[in-house]
């Protein structure tokens, strides 16, 4: 779960760390979705 640790570090860091790429945003979305923290109506079952 090193990815999750890096994700938390990036989100907790200074604003400059929030300039994420599309790949980063996608991995964050997949991480939140798989962990059940993110539930979007259009994401499907």
Specify whether the CB–CB gap between 20 and 13 falls below 8 A: no
pLDDT band at 2 (very low <50, low <70, confident <90, very high): low
Residue range 25-39: mean pLDDT, rounded: 78
Higher pLDDT among residues 32 and 18, named by residue: 32
Higher pLDDT among residues 6 and 29, named by residue: 29
Is residue 40 scored above 80 in pLDDT?
Answer: no
SS3 9: helix
Is residue 32 scored above 70 in pLDDT?
Answer: yes
Please report where in the chains the tokens 């994700």 appear, as a residue: 7
């Amino acid at each position: 779960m090193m990815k999750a640790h890096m994700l938390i570090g990036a989100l907790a860091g200074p604003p400059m760390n929030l300039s994420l790429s599309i790949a980063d945003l996608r991995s964050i979305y997949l991480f939140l979705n798989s962990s059940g923290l993110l539930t979007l109506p259009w994401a499907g079952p």
